[in-house]
Amino acid sequence: MFDRLDPIDRRLLDEFQRDMPLVPRPFAAIGAMLGVEEAEVIDRLGQLKARAMIARVGATVRPNTAGASTLAAMAVPEARIEEVASVVGAEPGVNHSYLREADWNLWFVATAPDAAALEATLARIGVATGLRVLDLCLVRPFNIDLGFRLSGEGAAMPEPRPLTVTALTDADRPVLQALTTGLALVPRPFAALAGTLGRDEAEVIGRVAALSDAGLLTRVGIIVRHRAVGWSANAMVVWALPGERIAAAGAALARHPGVTLCYQRRTVPGVWDYPLYSMIHARSRAEALATLDAAAALPELAGVPHRALFSARCFKQTGALLAAEAA
C-alpha cells in the first residue's frame, strides 16, 4: 500500500512523523521541503486522514507523565469477543484496543488524568464483562517512540530525549490534550489552538517546543496508522527473563533494527510472567518473524523464552485521554 502512494504522500508519511516545524505556518515549512504549496500539504493530509492512513497531526505524550496509563489484557471467550471489545472501546480512556493471537487475547491501552480515574476505568470494564483484567503497568521504557521510517529496511529507533518532568505545568495540560486529539489542518494550526484556549500563538508554540525538549512529548508530527499503509504484521513479543537481565536485554532490543517499541512492565505472577515487551511492525508475517529471530539471537536474549502475539484485529486507535473534561 505505501509503495503505491503518490511520491509526495510517501514523503509526508515517511519524513514527517517527528520534528514537525514548530513555527506559525508549519505546513508551509513542510511544503517548502517537499517543493509544493502550503494548501497542497493541508489538502493531502486531509485526504490521508479521510482514508484512515493517519490518525492526526499532533504529538504522542510520554506515558505516566501528564496523566496515568497502563496496558491491560483480558482472556475473552471467542463467542464474546465482539461484546467485550465493544464494552472496552466505549470507555473514553481506552485509546488502543487489539485482538491478539493468544489465550489472553484482548489487549488495550487505558489512559486517564490520574491513577484513581485509571483504576476506576479498569474496574468498570471488569464489572461490566465479568472477566479478569490484568493491569500490566509500565515499569521502565527503553523505546516508546513508534515513529519509524516506512521506506527501506528497518532501522534502529532514535534514542529518547532525557525526561524532565518538572517542565510540565498545569497550564500545559489542555495543550497536551489538543496534541493527542490532533491539530486543525489549517494554515496556522497553533493559532487556531491558541484561540480555543484563550492564549497567544507564540506562547503555545513555545510550550510545545519546551515539552518536546523535556522529553514529555516523544514526538511531534504525523501519527501514521501503520496497518492502513501496509505494515499489517504487528507482533507484540513478550520475554520471560529474570529482573537482573532486563536492563541489558531491553537496551539491546531497543537498538535492534525492526523493533519499534520496547519497555518493561509489571508481571502477574503465575498468570502472566513476562516482564519485557517489544513491538515489531512489518509488512508481512515472515518479515516480522525474521526480525524476531534476529532479536532472539542477540547475546542479551539468547535462550530467553518468548512469545509472539500477532495482532488479528484493531478495534480502536485514538489519542490518549489526559484531561478530565475531554471525557
pLDDT given for residue 65 in this prediction: 82
DSSP classification of residue 233: E
pLDDT given for residue 158 in this prediction: 64
282 forms bridges with which residues in the sheet?
233
pLDDT given for residue 131 in this prediction: 98
pLDDT tens per residue, range 151-199: 765 555 566 678 898 999 999 999 998 999 999 999 999 999 999 999 9
Q: Quick check: 124 pLDDT over 90?
A: yes
pLDDT mean across residues, the chain: 92
What is the residue-wise DSSP string for 27-48?
HHHHHHHHTS-HHHHHHHHHHH
pLDDT given for residue 317 in this prediction: 84
pLDDT given for residue 251 in this prediction: 95
Grid coordinates of 154: 528497518
Q: How far apart are CA 186 and CA 38, in angstroms?
A: 9
Q: Quick check: 54 pLDDT over 50?
A: yes
Q: Which SS3 state, helix, strand or coil, does residue 77 take?
A: coil
Percent of the chain with pLDDT over 90: 78
pLDDT given for residue 206 in this prediction: 97
Among the ranges given (111-125, 216-230, 237-251, 294-308), the one the predictor scored with the smallest mean pLDDT: 216-230
Do 67 and 278 contact (CB within 8 A), yes or no? no
Name the residue with higher pLDDT: 226 or 81. Answer: 81
pLDDT given for residue 145 in this prediction: 74
**Ranges of each domain in the chain:** 1-59+138-312
Among the ranges given (83-92, 204-213, 311-320), the one the predictor scored with the smallest mean pLDDT: 311-320
For the segment 62-76, the average pLDDT, to the nearest whole number, is 90
List all residues 6 or more positions away from 178 whose beta carbon is below 8 Å from its beta carbon. 58, 193, 196, 197
Name the residue with higher pLDDT: 276 or 18. Answer: 276
Please tell me the number of Cα atoms within 13 Å of 224 on its side-chain side.
Answer: 25
For the segment 10-39, the average pLDDT, to the nearest whole number, is 96
The CATH-assigned architecture of domain 1-59+138-312 is Orthogonal Bundle (1.10)
Q: Quick check: 10 pLDDT over 50?
A: yes
Do 129 and 87 contact (CB within 8 A), yes or no? yes
- For the sheet containing 134-136, what is the strand order? 134-136, 68-74, 106-112, 94-100, 306-317, 233-239, 276-282, 259-265, 138-143
Name the residue with higher pLDDT: 275 or 5. Answer: 275
pLDDT given for residue 327 in this prediction: 47
